[in-house]
Amino acid sequence: MLRISLKNFIKPGILMKLIGSILIIFLFISCGEEQEKVNPKEETITESVYASGIVKSSDQYQVFSPVNGIIQRIFVTEGDSIKQGGSILQVTNEMARLNIEGAQLGVESASINANRDKLNELQANINFLKTKMQNDSMLMERQRGLWNQQIGTRIELEQRELAYRNSIAGYDAAASRYRDLQRQINFASEQSRNNLKMSKTVAGDFTIKSNMNGKVYSLFKNEGEMVNTQTPIAVIGGDGEFILELQVDEYDIGKILPGQKVLITMDSYKNNVFEAEVTRVLPLMNERTRSFTIEAIFTKRPAALYPNLTTEANIVLQTRENAITIPRDFLVNDTMVILADGKKRKVVTGVMDFQKVEILSGLTTSDEIMKPVE
């Protein structure tokens, strides 16, 4: 195998001089990199918890259709103000119309007038049996009179008494059938009227109305499109009043309390900071994101707001004025700093933010410290 060595091209003395020069240059460069130094500052520092979220109109909710069907008419457009009970859209459903027609037919079929012939027939039979009962009563009394006069036989009297008792039973049975039919007709009529009311009530659900005074922020459907009970068809919320819905990590939720100040930044208003106040901490954690929902209201807000604008927030936990601070990356193991002479000194820290840390003891503004070498 052919081997190539620098000795074949460079003399040993020259090679050593070259290596020495490289080492000198390297040492020169290393020595030229001075460690960054700072003096502690006296300033205000704020401890806060980061949160992200969106802007929502007050009482904002998604509108769902309680029934399936086709949108026949939309009464509003996006941006319209709407009153509580105001119509949003109307859904048509052929089955609902048929149900109403069927219920109406049921009412008509079960009415007294529709069953008048049956009642008249039973009443006529009652009248006949009543007449027969009266006639049998007279014949029985006549037979009894003859029997008292020793005229006729005992069998004839018993036959008259039996005929009278049978007439009474027949009359009572006919009257009972008449009363039963009346009850059945009344019950069926009332049931049919209730079915009609229910059918009309269900049909009323096909006109979907607003639950509040507010504004229509979004419509997801057009006339002629299908709707169902699972898909939202609109978003309605308060007109002019907005809240912040923020997500806070589970590790920080124990620090959040109503009344805390919130500093808000928004992509829609770059280089601007707005203020809000925590109003509610929802107690249920989102298992998927491992975060809690915090609600806040603006105390200093932009001129124009719209639902679902994204926000970033810092929830202020505490603020220290006239605090001695240093950059966080100048700390060593969170408890030490390196002085300008290279010595280490132990310090006690306090409030921290993303960039700075408060020094409670161990440093003064006259001390100079160095940034640790990574």
> Which DSSP helix (H) or strand (E) runs through 367?
none
pTM of the model: 0.54
Q: What are 227's strand-pairing partners?
A: 69
Give every CB contact of residue 40 below 8 A, 6+ residues apart in sequence.
324, 325, 326, 359, 363, 364, 365, 367, 369
* Separation of alpha carbons 208 and 65, rounded Å: 7
Whether the per-residue pLDDT at 85 is higher than 50: the answer is yes
pLDDT score, position 28 = 41
Tally the C-alpha atoms within 13 A of residue 273's C-alpha that lie toward its C-beta: 6
DSSP 218-250: EE---TT-EE-SSSEEEEEE-SS-EEEEEEEET
Token digits of residue 343: 């010595």
Band of the pLDDT at 27, cuts 50, 70, 90?
very low
For all residues of the chain together, what is the average pLDDT? 82
Which of helix, strand or coil describes residue 52?
Answer: strand
Pick the CATH number of 45-58+240-370 from 2.40.30.170, 3.30.360.10, 3.50.50.60, 1.10.1200.10: 2.40.30.170
* Domain covering 60-92+206-238 in this structure, CATH number: 2.40.50.100
**Tens of pLDDT along 335-344?**
889 898 888 9
Domain range list for the chain: 45-58+240-370, 60-92+206-238, 94-204
pLDDT score, position 151 = 84
**Tens of pLDDT along 192-213?**
777 766 666 555 557 889 998 9
In percent, the amount of the chain with pLDDT more than 90 equals: 31
Whether the per-residue pLDDT at 14 is higher than 60: the answer is no
DSSP 320-342: EEEEEEEEGGG-BTTTEEEETTS
**Tens of pLDDT along 216-235?**
989 999 998 988 889 999 99
